[in-house]
Amino acid sequence: MSTFLTVGITHREAPLQRLEQVTAGVSAQADLQGLGLASGCAEVLLLSTCSRIELHAVVDEPTDDLAKESAHDVAELLGNVLVGQLGDEAGLATTRVGADAVVHLFRVAAGLDSRIFGEVEVQAQLRTAIKGAQARHGEPHRLRHLVTAALASAGETARVHPGLLRRGLLAERAAARAPIRSGRGAAAETLVVGAGAMGRQVVAALRDRGCRAVLLSRTTSARSSAGPHVLPLEELSTRLPTADAVFVATSAGRRLLTSAVVTQAVAGREGRPLTIVDLSLPRNVDPLVGGVRGVHLLNLDDLSDAACRPDPELPGAAAAEGAIRAAADAYCAGVRSRRVGPLVSALRTQLQDLCLEQLRRTTRGHQLPEQLLTHMASAVAGAVAHGPTVLAREAAGDDDEATLAVLAAAFRLHDPSEASATIGR
């Protein structure tokens, strides 16, 4: 028997500074997934974004007869171990077990748990994360199946609510929120640092608003494919005095803009304000830059729904939430239904053995081939077992242990008190 487990820290529980510290700490570790496996997880997946650092895992219940903990208890115990690895001294991490973990991952995949409701850039991050998932033995097939189902549910929700869930929301909001001004009577020239997916989305959002974007990259490979207006990152400090705004979105994990550099740039701007938007985690812009005269600094928290909308409820949000939760519930029911397989297999085997025994007695003296008798017994057993099989799968899907116990007792498959162990949670 196994269960799903999620332990992590997100923007909902932790302020940006704390989330940044946790993210930096995790990136410095050799392999947090390895720690999860060493702690007893069967499969692990690490998801690290600008809104969260989470370990999603599968936990198998101990088979030792002396182990009395349920899978739920084991998952919580492992969760506490992993929380410690996340460095959560402030008690901000959240542990979810079983169906709660499944619902959470479905919501994450659909962008319903992001800083901006409905952004689904996290889907690409999930696909990358599952490629790097690990298992103690074999392949992480259960997590892959879960993530695939969550992404499929997100895709269906986006199809039904095309105006609610879409890509590029963070970049669009950053471009809209930045008070870009031009003192030269021309289209505003902006600098975008970082040639990754977010940087390209920011460039597109700025161009839609009539702003000329110049992309700066730290790698030659990115510069060769990002477009004609790409400069080496080394030119950032020299272009600051003439830029109207700077958007920073890299995975450098260090401060690319310090207060000293920005102060020097502002001195040559003749009083023109400078907008800097930091879209990175860990932050690429020193928070002290916000105190430099003439500089308007925005970070991820400033672009979140909590900062931009007094009422976070959107038209269709409740429907999207309902659809995602229904899909997650259906997935959980399917998992429980599949877990009743051993009971169904035992039922069919017992019926086939009984049928074969009766056929042998009835046809004694007729010298019918054993292969024919076995085929006939299998056909009859399958027909007889169909009804109880459907009932068992429905009961497992509804987490109805009482009905499963009755079925087990009626067909004398095993001790009725052990029926719940057939399902798992």
> Quick one: CA torsion of 407, 410, 416, 419, rounded to 10 degrees?
-20
**Is the four-CA dihedral 47, 53, 54, 55 of positive or negative sign?**
positive
Q: Which tens digits make up the pLDDT trace of 150-191?
A: 999 999 888 887 777 766 688 988 988 887 654 444 445 789
Residue 69: predicted pLDDT: 54
* Residues 261 and 282 grouped into a single domain: yes
Per-residue pLDDT of 365-396, as tens digits, reads 787 888 888 888 888 888 887 887 777 776 76
DSSP 44: E
Task: Report yes or no on 19 lying in a domain.
Answer: yes
Cα–Cα distances (Å) from 36 to 75, 116, 272, in that order, read 11, 30, 51
One domain for residues 92 and 223: no
27-42, pLDDT tens digit by residue? 555 477 888 888 888 9
Q: Is 52 inside any structural domain?
A: yes
Domain that holds residue 230: 169-308
323: domain CATH number is 3.30.460.30
- The pLDDT of residue 254 is above 60: yes
Mean model confidence pLDDT for the chain: 80
Cβ 181 vs Cβ 244: under 8 Å: yes
Task: Judge whether 174 and 79 are in contact, CB under 8 Å.
Answer: no
Does residue 112 register a pLDDT over 80?
yes
Q: Say whether both 150 and 241 belong to one domain.
A: no
State the residue for tokens 């830029």: 243
Q: Do the beta carbons of residue 116 and residue 173 sit within 8 Å?
A: yes
DSSP for 127-147, written as a single string: HHHHHT-EESSS--HHHHHHH
Q: Distances from the Cα of 291 to the Cαs of 181, 262, 287, 296, 298, in angstroms?
A: 20, 10, 8, 9, 12
- Regarding whether 413 and 289 lie in a shared domain, the answer is no
313 assigned to some structural domain: no
CATH classification of the domain holding 225: 3.40.50.720
Residue 347 lies in a domain: yes
Q: Is residue 314 part of a domain?
A: no
61 & 138 share domain: yes
Residues 154 and 197 in one domain: no
Q: Encode pLDDT of 188-214 as tens digits.
A: 578 999 988 888 889 888 888 888 888
pLDDT given at position 414: 57
Give the pLDDT confidence of 51-72 residue by residue, as tens digits. Answer: 898 999 998 865 444 444 555 6
pTM here is 0.76
Same-domain status, 328 and 344: no
Q: Output the pLDDT for position 1.
A: 56
Task: Give yes or no: residues 134 and 36 share one domain.
Answer: yes
Together in a domain, 87 and 186: no
Torsion of the alpha carbons at 414, 417, 423 and 425, rounded to the nearest 10: -160
Q: Are residues 135 and 194 in the same domain?
A: no
Give the model confidence (pLDDT) of 232-246 as tens digits: 888 888 888 888 899
State residue 237's pLDDT score: 85
Percent of the chain with pLDDT over 70: 80
> Looking at residue 25, what is its pLDDT?
63
My answer on whether 76 and 129 are in the same domain is: yes
Which one, of 115, 215, 218, 130, lies nearest residue 172 by Cα? 115
Mean pLDDT of 120-124: 89
232 is a domain residue: yes
Q: Is the separation of the CB atoms in 240 and 210 below 8 Å? A: no
Domain tally, the chain: 3
- The tens digit of pLDDT for each residue in 342-366 reads 777 777 888 888 888 888 888 887 8
Residues 200, 288 within the same domain? yes
